Structure 1
Amino acid sequence: MESFLFQASLYLVAVVVAVPVASRLGLGSVLGYLVAGIMIGPVFGLVGSETKDLQHFAEFGVVMMLFLIGLELEPRALWNMRERLLGLGGLQIVVTTIVVTLGALALGEGWRVALTLGIILSLSSTAIVLQTLSEKRLMQTAGGRSAFSVLLMQDIAVIPFLAFLPLLALPGARALAKAEAAEAQRALSFLQELPGWGVTLVTLGAVAAIALAGHYVIRPLYAFVHRARLREVNTALALMIVVCIASLMLMVGLSPALGTFLAGVVLANSEFKHELESDIAPFKGLLLGLFFITVGAGIDVEVFFSQPVLLISFTLALMAAKGAVLYGLGRLFKLKGRDQWLFTLGLAQAGEFGFVLTAFALKQRILPDALAQQLLLVIAMSMFLTPLFFILHDVLARRMKDEGAPQKTDEIDEQQPVIIAGVGRFGQVVNRMVTMSGFRTTVLDHDLKVIQLLRKFGFKGYVGDPTRPELLRAAGLDHAKVLVVCLDDRAASVRLVTYARRMREDLHIVVRARDREHVFELYRAGADDIVREYFDASLRAGRYVLENMGLSEYEASELQKTFYALDRTAVRDLAELWRPDLPTEKNAAYIARARELNRELEAALLARFAETREEKAKPRDAAE
């Protein structure tokens, strides 16, 4: 017990001292964690062999991180990523593997060893890159999304890599490795005894079970637990979901990170998405920090000082080669400016799965011990250099003129009854009309330039992402009367309306919509008043057309009012039949009802036109 408390104290003190210092110096938390690990490991020798065991436990932070990322991605968004996921991610793995393999062959390695090195070093660090992108708020940039697609594809590729690597071992070494692993894998012997098609069915069944459980088990279970109104039980349920899914994936031989990512995607549309995020995030942060510390503490100083120049050269050569591949792929997929450099510099390292594959290749007798030790050190050193590459990206980004990363969020010092999320051309008009009518507003927008321009004209606003729950709470969501959503991003506006409605049933939500389908999405999300951005302007233009076709201003105005009222009713009617998973042209019920409503609208307009003509003729008849 005393030993455990002493070790825990060491790690916590190292974190509390090193990470804030690194953050204050602008180096980022990841570099702080790595330095803390180096200080308590190789420098002072305060931790020892337990670091490797602790690292396996800390890798669970990566699993939690991918679960949280999955929660941010709806299935449709994941499908929209398919081009970059398969194209960009697949090409990165293949081309990098070829380049590293050729380099190893040029250095005199055999083709089996060279190909193994190419596979291992083609992967990048999901933990470091995603953590840094989140801290710097670069995840939603084009470079950040491209980096995420590649990292996700790499995590998926680990599965076939584990199946392929044993084929690279010599027959005798393969048999010896299989015999040594038999005892350790006894728990999974039922899978080993199955034929190939049986293993495939079990694997697909596990993935299907996760998808079905997300819809039919986890949601009602969460609703049941939530009724207890005990925060610690909600946290326990969130941890249980992640742990159980990771265990199931390990049992069938799949990546636990991939399984929890899929579970997050399934639960992305759930009503308790934000609660899951808030419950899991602290554990994710602590475990990822612990993982980075163990990477720093696990650096073998003796191996490094035996060949420092050679190992540093290999590390820099690896990062340069991967960077060249990434830069070429970025150009191929039309990344530009700072997004190009973010993609290139962010993924130029080796990754934590490299430790797993190296240990696996060592057990399979593919890599010799000395080379494996050097490889582990090169992987760790490349991860250590990655935060410095992100600093280099920041320097380059400041010198470029294209649109930059999201700005730091302002501190909100007052709360008003009206919150306006997004203050572009649409939101500015709303804000001017409301404030000039004597009411106070709290304006939120992620663009610093827009907020600065707004303040020059005497209107107060705050910089920040309006979809963030903590920013909305700081802006006074709990007490506001009206929320006005004027965001350009249609998906973000739906997320914001969904969250606001779940938090406040009595809140009146006015929202801007792009088109009719966006109206349907917002209607289902819980918006009260939905304004199509071009609808009112189109109505006014149509009114001018009618006036110039011979109708009086009164007649054209009445027809405009009738069309507006009936169209609003029709939209609510059609929203019940709209299906997001089905193209409009294939939704027979929707099309049939739309045609019926069009006939009703035409009849109503003609009837109203006749009434206005009669009203116009009555005074003339009376005078006669």
Structure 2
Amino acid sequence: MLLGAAVIAVPLFKRFGLGSVLGYLAAGLLLGPSGIGLISDPESVLTTAELGVVMFLFIIGLEMEPSKLWALRKQIFGLGVVQVATCGALLTGVGVLLGFAPVVAFIFGMGFVLTSTAIVMQILGERGELTSDSGQKMVSILLLEDLAIVPLLAVVAILAPSGTEDSLFTRFAGFGIALGAILLLIFLGRRIMNPFFALLASTKLREVMTAAALLVVLGAALLFQASGLSMAMGAFLAGVLLSTSTFKHQLEADVEPFRGILLGLFFLAVGMSLNLSIVAENWAIIAMSVVAYMLVKALAIYVIARLLKSSHGEALERAVLMGQGGEFAFVLYTTAATAGLIDGPTNAIFTATVIVSMVLTPFFIIGLRYVMPKAAEQSMDGVETANGLSSKVLLIGFGRFGQIASQPLLAMRHSVSIIDNDTEMVRVAAQLGFKVYYGDGTRLDILRAAGAGTAEVILICTDKKEQTTRIAELLRDEFPLARVMARAFDRGHAIELINASVDYQLREVFESALAFGGEAIQRLGATAEEAEEVIDGVRDRDRQRLELQMAGDLRAGGRDLLISNAVEQAREGGVAVSEEDVEEQVAKSTAPGHPA
């Protein structure tokens, strides 16, 4: 029944531009007690469906290598803390104004602060914005909010009416158990998991690797749950620990289908959990709470974003996407009810308020499209997807660069498979006589379908740095025998690609700029031989600088070589400079954060 409802409702809602999340919620509402009543116990479904959120956090963790996580520390513990603290204080005040006792208002407000990770991640994932700057900021805030559930549960325990010495000891013991669980998972992730997966990979049995991937995700979640922590955070930490593993892409491919189904099941369960009879009985307080909490939270998020230099559009989008409550509020409210801080009816009102806010969010996002219209979704009419390709050469990305790079290969009659993720480009290429297949090269399943496993040479000609690096890393880990050539954006990106083990990289404007400069000096009187010699010298010095940067050493001998090269190049051009002048420029250009 659940699968049938999802298969019918989600495509229908997507067709009308209402989004997949709203489709799941509507289908769940229809099946639940407030609808036709085919499922009378939504809680039983919700308990299992929460594994969808767990697996989603595991996949996010796989993308968050420790170095990336460390780079986001200011956003997680800076922006995240500011937003949670500010929104928590404001929403607690709103609760007091609505007539709740201060402690109850605090629990209500802090629960509503915890945004729905599932909804925001799903929407960002559908848009392909998880790795964008604005997406990374939202992911960082969500991670901090997921972490915040741990101290909030501790605060609930402290505020609970029973305050004996035994309970105080129990709380400290619980803290120790939680810390032990974190250390145990870190030890297992760093020492045990990689050899474990290497052993299983040697069996060449795909289903065993899938079972092992699920074992790791569910095992980490169970360990954290048993320790009083968040299941989702356990899975996320497991993902982070495996993010540098050679098996990470395989793990992602194995878990992804389960993640998608279970996350859809989670939204169905949330829809079923909306009890319309409770909403009808308490409609006034719930309506006031939904309006007040969503409005105050959204305004606070917008103001914080603007104060921290985000654009109006980015701040507005973050406010709309993160203005609702989330699934971790259910955990906080249930714990507070068990501890005797709130009664059953109050818990039902709080839960209904959060669910209504989650249901309303997709509608607000639709409204946001009219305020800030996004690019229309790509039509797949007349577009063939990549499947079962097996050419000698695989070319990924058929933009300006890829079109030119393909011509020598086609002129030599090499068999070339071309994929691109822009449907309009695929159709235009067909009109020009090129056979281009639709496919996203950042997905492992698409690379397999496009023939990456049998291709002798793979050309990455995509125009986005992050996309190119991601594809290079996938190819390095999953298809190590293929020779990979990549288009680099700049020197820093070239170093990233070299670290990703590409066989050849070329900055997209480097050779054309050299040819342009060579033509310029010929028009100023240089012979063709002189121009070629100068260009060869520039190319050689650039190679030396790149090697020095790869070694991370622009000091001592590296700095001396850079200065002498610069002086020599200037004098060849007829410009008289001293080494002191160049020294000053080098000091500026090698300063931390400088693009040179």
Query: Structure 1 length as normaliser, TM-score?
Result: 0.78
Residues 1:174 and 2:162 aligned together: yes
Q: Tell me the equivalent position of 1:482.
A: 457
Q: Which residue of 192, 213, 225 corresponds with 2:170?
A: 192
Residue 426 of structure 1 and its aligned partner are, at CA, apart by 4.0
Task: Report how far residue 353 of structure 1 moved.
Answer: 0.6
Residues 1:210 and 2:185 are matched in the alignment: yes
Q: Is the 8 A contact 2:64 2:243 kept in 1?
A: yes
Query: 1:611 matched to which residue of 2?
Result: none
Alignment correspondent of 1:91: 82
TM-superposed deviation, 1:64: 1.1
Q: How does 1:288-307 map to 2 (within 5 A)?
A: 288-307=263-282
> Offset of 1:158 from its aligned partner?
0.8
Letter in structure 2 aligned against 1:45:
G
| 8 Å CA contact 1:70, 1:263 repeated in 2 | yes
1:72 aligns with 2:45: no
Shift of 1:217: 1.5
**Structure-1 residue corresponding to 2:39:** 47
Question: 2:49 — aligned with what?
Answer: 58
- What is the letter of the counterpart of residue 59 of structure 1? E
Letter in 1 for 2:162: R
| 1:527 shift after superposition | 1.2
Aligned partner (choices 106, 111, 128) of residue 137 of structure 1: 128
Deviation at 1:352, TM superposition (A): 0.6
Q: Residue 458 of structure 2: SS of its match in structure 1?
A: strand
Structure 2 vs 1, CA of residues 212 and 486 (structure 1 numbering), >3 Å: closer, same or farther?
A: farther
Given that 1:246 and 1:257 are in contact with CA atoms closer than 8 Å, whether structure 2 keeps it comes out as yes
CA distance in 1, matches of 2:134, 2:393: 35
In structure 2, what is the Cα distance between the partners aligned to 1:166 and 1:131? 32
Question: Which residue of structure 1 lines up, in the alignment, with residue 21 of structure 2?
Answer: 30
Is 1:162 the counterpart of 2:162? The answer is no
The C-alpha deviation readout for 1:309-340, integer Å capped at 9, x for no partner, is: 44234323322222222332333344446544
User: Contact 2:386/2:437 (CA < 8 Å) preserved in 1?
Assistant: no
Q: Secondary structure at the match of 1:174?
A: coil
Q: Tell me if the contact between 1:123 and 1:154 (Cα under 8 Å) persists in the aligned partners.
A: yes
Amino acid at match of 1:278: A
- Describe the shift of the 1:536–1:470 C-alpha distance in structure 2 as closer, same or farther (beyond 3 A): same
Q: Is the 8 A contact 1:138 1:405 kept in 2?
A: no
Deviation string 1:467-510 (CA, Å, 9 cap, x unpaired) is 22233344443444432223344343222112223443443321
- Contact 2:396–2:418 (CA under 8 A) maintained in structure 1: yes
Moved more, 537-546 or 132-141: 537-546
Largest Rg, 1 or 2:
1
Q: Which SS does the other structure have where 2:243 is aligned?
A: coil
Q: Contact 1:408–1:464 (CA<8 Å) still a contact in 2?
A: no
d(CA) in 2 for partners of 1:338 and 1:470? 34
Counterpart residue number, 1:619: none
Partner Cα distance (2:66, 2:134) in 1:
21
1:249 corresponds in structure 2 to: 224
Q: In 2 relative to 1, CA 37–535 (structure 1 residues): closer, same or farther, beyond 3 Å?
A: closer
Where do residues 384-463 of structure 1 align in structure 2 (5 Å cutoff)? 384-398=359-373, 404=375, 407=378, 411-412=384-385, 417-423=392-398, 426-431=401-406, 434-435=409-410, 442-446=417-421, 461=436
The one of 101, 110, 129 equivalent to 2:101 is 110
1:526 offset after TM fit, Å? 2.5
Compute the displacement of 1:166 (Å).
3.1
- Using the TM superposition, give the Cα deviation of residue 286 of structure 1 relative to its aligned residue in structure 2, in angstroms: 2.5
Deviations, residues 359-408 of structure 1 (Å, cap 9, x unaligned):
1111222223322111111111112222222332344443x6xxx48746
Indicate yes or no: 2:442 matched with 1:467: yes
Q: How many corresponding residue pairs?
A: 563
Q: Following TM superposition, by how much is the alpha carbon of 1:53 offset from its aligned partner in structure 2, in angstroms? A: 3.5
**Conserved in 2, the CA contact under 8 Å of 1:501 and 1:526?**
yes
In 1, Cα distance between the equivalents of 2:43 and 2:533?
A: 77
Residue number in structure 2 paired with 1:362: 337
Contact 1:338–1:393, Cα closer than 8 Å, also in 2: no
1:255-294 aligned at under 5 Å gives the runs 255-294=230-269
Query: Is the alpha carbon distance of 1:435 and 1:593 closer, same or farther for their aligned partners in structure 2, counting shifts above 3 Å?
Result: farther
Query: Does the CA contact (< 8 Å) of 1:147 and 1:343 recur in 2?
Result: yes
CA displacement at 1:563 relative to structure 2: 6.8
What is the CA-CA distance between 1:121 and the residue it aligns to?
1.1
Q: Map of 1:437-586 to 2, 5 A cutoff?
A: 442-446=417-421, 461=436, 465-536=440-511, 553-554=528-529, 557-558=532-533, 560-561=535-536, 564=539, 575=550, 577=551, 584=553
Does residue 152 (structure 1) correspond to residue 143 (structure 2)? The answer is yes
Q: Does the 8 A contact of 1:412 with 1:474 survive in 2?
A: no
Q: Deviations over 1:40-87 (max 9, x none)?
A: 2222223334x3243223212211110001112222322332333233
The normalised TM-score by structure 2 is 0.81
Once the two structures are TM-superposed, the CA of residue 345 in structure 1 deviates from its matched residue by 1.8
The range that moved more, 556-565 or 101-110, is 556-565
Contact 1:67–1:260 (Cα < 8 Å) also in 2: yes
Tell whether 2:112 aligns with 1:124. Answer: no
User: Residue 174 of structure 1 contacts residue 365 of structure 1 at CA under 8 Å; is this kept in 2?
Assistant: no
Correspondence for 1:11: 2
Query: Residues 126, 574 of structure 1: CA spacing in aligned structure 2 closer, same or farther, 3 A cutoff?
Result: closer
AA paired with 1:269?
Answer: T
Report deviation, 1:220.
1.4
Question: Partner of 2:487: helix, strand, or coil?
Answer: strand
In 1: Cα distance, 2:325 partner to 2:70 partner: 27
- Deviations for 1:541-576, whole angstroms, at most 9, x for unmatched residues? 78679989998643553565477568758867975x
